[in-house]
Structure 1
Amino acid sequence: MKKFLSIIVPIIFFLFIVNIAFATNTSIEITNGTETTYKTQIKTNGGIWQDTDNTDPPKIDYNGNITIRGYVYYLNETGDRTTQVTEGNVTIGPTKSSEVYCGNLDETGYNFECTVDTQDVIPDSCHIGENCTIYIWVNDTSGLEGNRSLKLWIRDLNITDEYDNEYLLTFSSDRLEVNTTVTISGYVYYKKEVDEHNISIPISRTSYIYIKDPCEQETYGSGNWSTSRTSTDATGKFSFDYKPNCTGSNLKFWLKARDSYGIESYITIRKAVYPKNTTSTAVDRDIETIEIENIPKLIKDVPTAAVFSLTKIQEIKITTNKRVLLAEITIEELGNSTTTKPEGKLYQYINITKVNLTDSDISKVEIKFKVAKSWIEANNVDPNTIKLIKYSGNKWNDIDTSLRFSDNNYYYYNSTSDSLSMYAITGQEKVVIPGIKESDYLNITTYPTTISIEQGKNKTESVTVKNINTTVNQSVKLTITDINSSWYTVTPDSAIISPNTNKIFNITFIIPSDAEMKDYNIKYNASSSYDYTTENFTLSIIPGDELKKTINETLANYSAIFNDIEIEYNEIKNKGINSTTLDTLYNDLKTKLNSAISFRDSGDYKSAYNLLDDINEDLTRTQQEIDKVIKQGQGLLGSLTRKIIIFTIIGVIIAFIIYLFLPPSIQILPKLTKKGRKEIREEEGLVKDRFDEEFEDLEKSEKNIQEIQKDRFDEEFEELEKNQ
């Protein structure tokens, strides 16, 4: 029995030690979807679940929410999964310092599933139409942490009347008649906003188009979506037939686009449907296009924009003098008007009406509109004479209008008014003297091609315009397109330039302190009633005093963080721990930080500023990699210590077992001869005699001391009695 226990007990103890050594959890893994049964998934606005794969990032809606679910596992020191993490919390965000709480871990199904607002968790620098990186962090109740990054593609779906300024949402017939089939065509695309302009991105997957029949609606928006659907092609184009079974002068069509991920977009358009074989007099008004936009809330003194996609009016921005709820703005493009015809070339009559909003509620209206270049060229109109005019007091009145910018197809304008009513877009025909070509009138001869100005600062530059005609005087005006008109003033406002002479215009740029720091590609525009000419230049907005201060503080903070990282990095290298990933991250971070500091020191704050986001991200990634390497190093050190202990214990156990099972006849010490044993006994006897002698001497000494002490005590006692 003794031998049996001596074998079993050490073996059990050995297995227990091994289990402790090799089952210790060192990190947490949020699974990345490489295995079918262990996936992290995401969906947007209640759409379908998408697997998170950084080579094909899931598509999410910028204006909405995202729901993320996944599994979380403990990993041991060898990187193998052990058990699921069932207690702890999950946070999501662009960085560790700006994460938002997402939910708790549990044991049912996926270890976590939580919903957050998209804009709360994506980086501020991330725009529609771009890949963005967010992070998921998991912390268990013991303080162990794990994280992983996800790439997401931000998108915003649009069903539109305009695709790359070329393709329109159209009806196959301008005139719709009851019980007559008409084909409706258009495009669906993802949009990306760049410098306040929407850039279309072809839709990457099939989407479906549904219509809400206006003849089935008792009120706007009521009725059911069609059960049948139309698919878009590879370019996002769709086309389907529709047969109205009712008549009306102001019927509202609803179209809905839904992509395969569940993202939806809506558009509405109003059209007149005529009785069969009648003329347009059967309809109350000659309305070509109607578009309605709802504004749920207008806050006092806060400009609020309504954006339109079907009409020549692109945006109406309204500022009110009180709080207004549930306002509705309707734009009607009219083929004719009962008003007197305005002077000049007429481009479009536009009637703007409103619901739950009065003129007395409005303090300011800004209207953005566009005019087709094809119309301007066909009618020989000077684009600098285009203006929005307002009908009031039984006459047409000019309102402030400025040219914003142009592209290949349109000129874009901005007007300011104090109310909404009947408007018209007009322009003046160019004045051309027979025998003189357009190119023989004006030329911008000298001008700066690049102008750099700090935020919050002013700067004046000179531009020279020449009247290159030899016979006519010209009244010339110099403007700048493609930037806010409040950013500059021109002196003089206009000037009469004699034939073959120059005129210098001074442009004072007044840059707001909060102006976006970037390069603006804009134009000088010199115009007269005879001609206009343009020249391109770059306005570079560079950091002002406040931003410089922020850049300096940020670089100082980043440098301090980097110094701590550098100390940890050197300690890791001194311990002989190698990590290619850490080396790459560290060197990239060091290079970018040194470049930013060098730019700053040379006065190039703009280049330094452009590196800050990258440095911040690299600081986070490098620190995470350092923490990971340190944790792995500690795991290896602990593993080595445990293994030394284990092998020592194993060695002792083996030696003990060998000793137990050795035969009794085996002698460990060599045999002694008879003579040797006698010498040992004699030696032992001598030691004993010496000990006895020393013990007797000690006893005698102790007895003598006691007698001396007794005699001294007796003498002191007798002396004391005599004194008493």
Structure 2
Amino acid sequence: MSKMKLIVAFVLLMAMCTGVAGATWTSSMYITALPTSSDGSSPPPPPATYVRIFGVDDNATDGFDRDYDVTAPPAPTVDALDAYFPCTHEVVTRLAADMKADADAITWTLKVTVPSGSTLDMNWDVSNSPSEKMLVMNTGSASIDMKTQSSTTFETGSYSLSITSSKIVQDNSTPTPSSSGGGGGSGTSGEEYENIEVKDVVHKHIVMDEETSYEFKDESNAIETIKFTALKNAGEISATIEVLKGKSALVKNDPPGRVYQNLNIWVGKSGFATSDNIADVKVGFKVEKSWIEANDIVVATIRLCRHHNDVWNPLPTNKSGEDDTYIYFEAKTPGFSPFSIIGSTEEDLVAQGADTEPMSTATSEQTSTQDSNGEGKQSDEGISMWYLVGALAIMLIAGGTYLMYRTKKDEDGEVL
């Protein structure tokens, strides 16, 4: 009996599960975890690192399991969220509550409290989730695609998380650049799923004449902020960062430098991110010092490069700060599309200089040739004319001086 009370006393997570968008049930689930500390005691007192694991599997119970299971509970069914916490306690080996979504879209709201001085490592395995379903976790500060990312960490504090399961809307269209004001189209990217390492989505309410700032918290995403001034009221608009494993599927040629990270950046649906709707667009990003040092990158060459109209365009980029791990930058962009964070080494700069030198020489030679055939000839003639004028002036002065001398001499002779 005392052991059961001990389990209940260490309830660290409470989740409220509410069906939406056609769901017909509402239920609550309580989940406990008894992780083991380094000295073998269970559960460990804070400060400690607590591990939570979410999974989607095959045979979920239709509803809610509040029991504490000595053995692992049945694997959940398809379309179910299985929140289970493995532990090594002598009474329980796994604590679980299975929730099955009975609608096209369902949202679970999880309330998480992390004790003082502790961290919460939350992991999930959704490999058995139906391919036509997407799972998105909203932490309050970021939206995480649970199919492309498998973990996140929370520091001390209280959090309200929501996990939404919904059908993936198939849209094979690719964004097209807007013709107005240099802005770029944005929305469904058309990126190959296999090439997406992390998909980071943040939602903001857009208010006219106010600066909108999207902040991205995923450590694997080099983009930290997207800021712009809204020219119109637009309601809730999402900003999406796709961190890519390689070059974007929307790009044919490689960016002009050594790549730190390839990305797709989209704000709103196609046609939103134009000069009619937003202005003064700035992207804040970070680059690890370890990458800079390992690749001998010249910091002054680091920049955000945008791919638009089949051309890579380096954007105006300024260093905004640094700490022990990262150097921070801010770039201005006229729109959203595939991007790449790039830099160059001293050798790259020398090579680029060698490539451009013949062009400079040819230009000089061409200028020299033009001068000798045209303007240069006129210049020589001008110099000759001034030379003759000067010589004539000298002769006139000399002649005048001589004449004055002779006149003076004659006058002196008459006096004598």
What TM-score comes out, normalization by structure 2 length?
0.44
The higher relative CO (CA closer than 8 Å, separation ≥ 6) is in 2
Q: Counting helix residues as a fraction of each chain, which structure ranks higher?
A: 1
Instruction: Kindly name which structure, 1 or 2, has the bigger radius of gyration based on alpha carbons.
Output: 1
